[in-house]
Amino acid sequence: MNLKHRENITVERKIPADKETGNTTRTDENGQQWERIEIWNFVNVSMAHQARGSGRSETYLEESRIEIGGGGKKPDYVTEWLAEQLWHEYGIDLPHEAFDIDVIDIESDEIIVL
pLDDT tens digits, 53-62: 888 888 888 8
Q: Do residues 106 and 13 lie in contact, with contact meaning Cβ atoms separated by under 8 Å?
A: no
What is the rounded CA–CA span in Å between residue 89 and residue 24?
A: 34
pLDDT the model gives residue 53: 85
Q: Does the pLDDT value for residue 50 go beyond 90? A: no
On the question of pLDDT at 1 being above 80, the answer is no
**Mean pLDDT to the nearest integer, 30-45:** 94
CB 72 within 8 A of CB 66: no
